[in-house]
């Protein structure tokens, strides 16, 4: 898959088939994150891969899903992720600018490579972090930042371009149709792109 195609077509997936993901694939996803730029090259991120069912179920209980479509958008037992990559931050190595840029770059690389490999993903930051850290056995000084849910997609997710001028919280809510297809509104480029100065055409 070409990079452009992966960027334009990747969407969050919250319903998964129960086909297991290969350890080698999960290792590649973490390695893709490792290749990313890092502030001052301090590389403070570590990754915990969760595949065992009991641990997956416990981690699922630490997460909040699909605020706009809950409870319908919360995966049922038959459609939960088959793997997770938990993005953790080693606090002693965080640059003065913080870890958000590192996490964003690393996570997007995981999401894009996952899509390239036919794997659905959902980046989650609504997490009971103390509970998740205990479950994962994280030592003091290493904290949970994000959880990336993974699995073979069981639904189709597509973007919908909004018309210029359509803005506000009412129109950006994602939704599912009666078939389960997932739609994600995207603000018009006209409302987001400025040339030379804000408002420049």
166 and 91 inside one domain: no
Count of structural domains, the chain: 2
Q: pTM surpassing 0.85?
A: yes
For 45-66, give the DSSP string.
EEEEEE-SHHHHHHHHTTB---
Residue 77 located in a structural domain: yes
Residue 174 located in a structural domain: yes
86 and 104 inside one domain: yes
Minimal CA–CA distance to 122: which of 36, 5, 16?
16
112 and 171 inside one domain: no
Provide mean pLDDT across the span 169-193: 87
Band of residue 170 on the pLDDT scale cut at 50, 70, 90: low
Domain extent for 74 = 3-155
| Beta strands 83-90 and 45-50, pairing class | antiparallel
Q: How far is CA 74 from CA 16, 49, 117, in A?
A: 11, 21, 24
118 and 171 inside one domain: no
Q: What is the pLDDT of residue 90?
A: 98
94 and 41 inside one domain: yes
What the block records as the tokens of 91 is 């606090």
CATH number at residue 63: 3.40.109.10
Band of residue 169 on the pLDDT scale cut at 50, 70, 90: low
pLDDT tens-place string over residues 13-62: 999 999 999 999 999 999 999 999 999 999 999 999 999 999 999 999 99
137 and 186 inside one domain: no
SS3 155: coil
Residue 178, pLDDT > 80, answer yes
Residue 71, pLDDT > 90, answer no
Residue 144, pLDDT > 70, answer yes
Residue 200 located in a structural domain: no
84 and 168 inside one domain: no
174 and 135 inside one domain: no
């Amino acid at each position: 898959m070409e990079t452009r195609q992966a960027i334009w077509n990747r969407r969050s997936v919250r319903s998964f088939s129960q086909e297991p993901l290969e350890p080698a694939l999960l290792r590649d996803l973490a390695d893709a994150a490792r290749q990313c730029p890092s502030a001052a090259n301090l590389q403070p991120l570590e990754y915990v891969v969760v595949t065992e069912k009991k641990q997956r179920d416990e981690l699922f209980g630490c997460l909040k899903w699909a605020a706009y479509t809950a409870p319908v958008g919360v995966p049922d037992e038959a459609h939960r992720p088959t793997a997770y990559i938990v993005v953790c931050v080693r606090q002693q190595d965080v640059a003065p600018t913080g870890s958000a840029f590192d996490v964003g770059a690393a996570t997007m690389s995981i999401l894009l490579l996952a899509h390239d490999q036919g794997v659905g993903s959902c980046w989650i930051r609504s997490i009971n972090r103390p509970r998740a850290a205990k479950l994962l056995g994280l030592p003091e000084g290493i904290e949970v930042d994000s959880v990336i849910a993974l699995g073979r997609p069981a639904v189709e997710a597509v973007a919908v371009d909004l018309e210029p001028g359509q803005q506000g919280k009412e129109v950006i809510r994602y939704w599912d149709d009666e078939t389960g297809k997932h739609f994600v509104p995207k603000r018009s480029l006209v409302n987001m792109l400025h040339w030379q100065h804000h408002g420049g055409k």
